[in-house]
A and B are shown apart, each in its own frame.
Chain A
Amino acid sequence: MLTIPIETQILFAGILFFLGLIGLLVRRNMIFMLMSIEIMLNSAGLVFIIAGNHWKQPDGQVMFIFILTVAAVEVAIGLALILQVYHHYKTLDADAVNKLRDQNSK
């Protein structure tokens, strides 16, 4: 069976992580930002699976299940908050939500 070196596997997870990060920075729609965060969290989960496989331990997969659960909770609350944002601002554009900022007028 073909074995892939661990560096390549980690690199793959790293690429996924940065794709998520770039998506977060480029996208202005909050739903897409939430999706990008999911990609980042899952790429971190992938690292745990890779490491668990590398060390022949179940710990990595246990951690992955925890990550999945927590990510689901985060999305649930995120969507609820996005719904509230839509009620208040009538848009999902992240740039529109900018009332809180430094006021440097004296």
Chain B
Amino acid sequence: MTETDFLCLTPFLILALAPIVIMLVISIFRNYEIVFGFSLLSLILAFAALFFIAPAIPHSIQPLFIIDMYSLFFLGIIFISAFIVALLSYNYIKRLEGVREEYYIILFTSTLGAALLAVANHFVLFFLGIETLSISLYILIAFQRTKDNSIEAGIKYLILASVSTAFLLFGMGLIYTAFGSMMFSEIATAISLQGPLTSLAITGFGMMLVGIGFKLALVPFHAWTPDVYQGAPAPVSAYIATVSKGAVMAVLIRFFFNIKGFDDHYLFIIISAIAILSMFIGNILAIRQQNIKRLLAYSSIANMGYLIIILLTGTNKGIQASLFYLISYFITTISAFGVITLLSNAKNEAEMISDYKGLFWKRPFVAIVFTLALLSLAGIPITAGFIGKFYVIFEGMKAGLMLLVFAMIISSVIGLYYYLRVITTMFSPAGETTLPQITFMGKFTLAAITISILILGIYPGWLIDIITRFVGL
């Protein structure tokens, strides 16, 4: 290992050391505030380390890691999202009975897994990253041990995620058998040498698609999403919807563009079908939901459907559109789940739509934040969601994917119905429900996220410039 190798690995070393330090500290002296402060500090340090790496890239540590601008970008958004989730969790986790400090340990290990996915260039790291991420998620989902729902969501996720991992691994094994290498770039070379894919390779890619489709909650591998979102603590749902899916998307885009999967006829048809099904089934099933967490789960299924259109464009411009869409989806989802987190108390989660009746008259600030988040998810102008959707549609049309773009527009209209239903509930006359007080820190975080939704919606140019600088033309 050279010095540059070590420099490039600093964010990972920080993320790996932080949980160990926290473990040692809480074995001697348990203090929630100290652990919380230390976690935020470590995430800031990991983020700051990215600036020191920047001059040394692109750098690859053979054969596992590749650290380039693209991975740096994903590392950045993963760390920022984890930071915001940690901030929002403060009160929610503090109110739990029993052990609470361990939450931050697991948050770190899962962030480490997600970060590894962003730099993976080899099946071994791909597998290790995805497993570090999902094994940590089993614990986070079942963190409220006293609640039936939490345990149920945990065991459901555990069984289904392990099966999807088995599929992913078997697919990787078949691809290794077919091409004799586990490195993304060498697989790509082998594919270009061998010509059309053999049935062994097609089976391999198909099985990998099952595993990845599960992690991204694409139809027909979506059945776990609403149950897990509902049972998991609200900040953990936010984490699954953003960091976990974003990291898997990072490695999927890198792998897919390396092997030029969009050139293969079968893969093209399969992914188009998955995208269209995800959009429609996600949006249609969301319509009748009475539970806001389930509603957001179905909406995330639809959103991932929009996002994988980008895989089929096969251009760098397409990747830029997907990065913009991911960022707008990240901040919007975190803000929606942030509202749920802050309105929940120790006894019950504010998860039914009826809990939000007349919210505007009782807590106008939170109601406005939630309204903007839902409008952004629906893709209404002056919010980030609109620009993101517009960008994806624009790139999709340039690549000639008319059917997919058309399906996206129609299903977005269906989506508008259920978002507006929640908004009208919030503005209807006040109900009887009592709401917990919201801390200053929570208000501040929500305000910052909401302002960024508006800024990205009104003036998206600067972010597009940044993304262009990271991904190139």
Task: List residues of chain A with CB under 8 Å of any chain B CB.
Answer: 6, 10, 13, 17, 20-21, 24, 30, 33-34, 37, 40-41, 43-45, 47-48, 50-52, 54-55, 57, 59-60, 62-63, 66-67, 70, 73-74, 77-78, 81-82, 84-85, 88-89, 94, 97-106
Contacts and interface: CB of A to CB of B under 8 A. Distances in A.
B176 A48 contact: yes
Contact of A37 (B127, B149, B163, B285): B163
A17 B173 CA distance: 12
A99 B290 contact: no
Interface in B330-359: none
Interface in B130-185: 131, 135, 138-139, 142, 145, 148-149, 151-156, 158-159, 162-163, 165-166, 169-170, 172-174, 176-177, 180, 182
B200 A88 contact: no
Interface stretch (B226-234, B316-324, B452-460): B226-234
Nearest to A89: B148
Contacts of A44: 166, 169-170, 172-173
Given A10-B177, A51-B180, A85-B151, 16 more contacts: A17-B170, A30-B155, A37-B166, A40-B170, A44-B170, A45-B173, A47-B170, A47-B174, A54-B177, A63-B123, A63-B127, A66-B128, A67-B169, A77-B138, A84-B145, A106-B290
Contact of B149 (A6, A54, A100): A100
A43 B170 contact: yes
B180 A55 contact: yes
A81 B154 contact: yes
Contact of A73 (B135, B172, B230, B231): B135
26 contacts: A17-B166, A20-B166, A33-B159, A34-B159, A37-B163, A43-B170, A44-B169, A45-B169, A51-B173, A51-B177, A54-B180, A55-B180, A63-B127, A70-B131, A73-B131, A74-B135, A81-B151, A84-B142, A84-B151, A88-B148, A97-B155, A97-B156, A101-B227, A102-B294, A103-B291, A106-B290
Contacts of B151: 81, 84-85, 88, 97
B13 interface: no
A91 to B, nearest CB: 12
B288 interface: yes
B61 to A, nearest CB: 16
A40 to B, nearest CB: 4
Contacts of B291: 103
Contacts of B231: 100
A102 B289 contact: yes
B288 to A, nearest CB: 6
B170 A100 contact: no
Nearest to B203: A14
Contacts of A41: 162, 165-166, 169
B124 interface: yes
Interface of B: 123-124, 127-128, 131, 135, 138-139, 142, 145, 148-149, 151-156, 158-159, 162-163, 165-166, 169-170, 172-174, 176-177, 180, 182, 200, 226-227, 230-231, 285, 288-291, 294
A100 B153 contact: yes
Contacts of B165: 41
Contacts of A89: 148
Nearest to B146: A88
Contacts of B138: 77-78, 81
B162 A74 contact: yes
Among A20, A63, A97, chain B packs the most CB atoms within 10 A around the CB of A63
A40 B211 CA distance: 13
Contacts of A103: 290-291
Contacts of B294: 102
B288 A100 contact: no
B109 to A, nearest CB: 11
Contacts of A102: 226, 285, 288-289, 294
A66 B177 contact: no
Contacts of A97: 151-152, 155-156
A84 B180 CA distance: 43
B39 to A, nearest CB: 22
A7 B371 CA distance: 57
Given A44-B166, A66-B127, A81-B151, A10 B176 contact: no
A45 B135 CA distance: 19
Contact of B158 (A40, A52, A63, A78): A78
Given A81-B151, A100-B227, A106-B288, A37 B162 contact: yes
A63 B124 contact: yes
A44 B174 CA distance: 9
A65 B180 CA distance: 18
B198 to A, nearest CB: 11
Nearest to A86: B151
B86 to A, nearest CB: 22
A82 B177 CA distance: 36
